Amino acid sequence: MKVTLEGKTILITGAAGFIGSFLTKRLLESVKEIKIIGIDSITDYYDVSLKEERLKMLEETAASINQKESGKSSFTFIKGDIADKAFIDDIFAEYNPSVVVNLAAQAGVRYSITNPESYIHSNIIGFYNILEACRATMGTEKPVEHLVYASSSSVYGSNKKVPYSTEDKVDNPVSLYAATKKSNELFAHAYSKLYKIPSTGLRFFTVYGPMGRPDMAYFKFTNKLVKSEPIQIYNMGDMYRDFTFVSDIVTGIVNVMQKTPEETEDGAPYKVYNIGNNKPSSLMNFVEILENCLIKEGIIKEPGKKELLPMQPGDVYQTYADVTELERDFGFKPSTTLEQGLGEFAKWYKTYYNR
């Protein structure tokens, strides 16, 4: 069923995050009379100033659009934790969102090995609170029309079959992070079946781009290259990732928001899609392209030193998205090349850190 976004109230959790901020910006720029409620707990998992920079970008975008359109669209940011049930219930009661996009989560595979509690807090309890708040609207005059939530390619674990299909068995996660994301899908299916909440999960594949997360490999590599420090490359460089540019991820989310899933055989209005570039790149090739982009922008003068290390706990050998269903249902598949995407990142990095 089609979901109209114009004139609607949209709740986006994790709005100060990498994907959440770019999604909010896209919706403000492309949808008329939209009202976006963005929430984020602004944790210090990584540099808070980067999250503040994203929020500043959104405030400026909203102000610019309001000048042109007489204030019909709006962005309201509220700091809060999705694991705080009273906070979430109050947000739903006050704003009655028509569409909910849950992007708030504790991210990172390696961090989950040493800090498991934060993943249970945000990814399990937090997501449960979102589901319960959506459930409370069903049967009312204004039920939630669509719940879209972030899953991850990490759910595929060490599956050998490629490309990864949403039809594949994903019962053997290799990290707690992956386990929480798989749990999100299971919770969403149960709530969709029991309470008829239309829900769509999106398995993101290695998202990168400007204003990204500093804990991601490409960002960490760049920081070390700038300092002339060797970069650590795991599994001796023999790894492959389906790197996906943030604008492609956002396009996928916006498309999905506007169409609720058909009911499955067991009566659940539920669906899961992969959003990936459908073109894995070797880690060594990725590093070479990154270095070339950084050299082109004058950020570094020459390629850096590499320290080849064994595979790390929780890591997988490769990721590779089968996006057949995404392309079939929405006529879209990610297409940004690494040269384009890393070029955009390098330009942003130069501007942001040279200010």
For every residue of the chain, which 3-state class applies, written as one string?
CECCCCCCEEEEECCCCHHHHHHHHHHHHHCCCCEEEEEECCCCCCCHHHHHHHHHHHHHHHHHHHHHHCCCCEEEEEECCCCCHHHHHHHHHHHCCCEEEECCCCCCCCHHHHCHHHHHHHHHHHHHHHHHHHHHHCCCCCCCCEEEEEEEHHHHCCCCCCCECCCCCCCCCCCHHHHHHHHHHHHHHHHHHHHCCCEEEEEECCEECCCCCCCCHHHHHHHHHHCCCCEEEEHHHCCEECCEEHHHHHHHHHHHHCECCCECCCCCEEEEEEECCCCCEEHHHHHHHHHHHHHHCCCCCCCCCEEEECCCCCCCCECCECCHHHHHHHCCCCCCCHHHHHHHHHHHHHHHHCC
234 flagged as catalytic: no
| Paired strand residues for 102 | 13, 149
Residue with tokens 């770019």: 22
Which of these is catalytic: 45, 119, 128, 177?
Answer: 177
Residues annotated catalytic, as ranges: 177
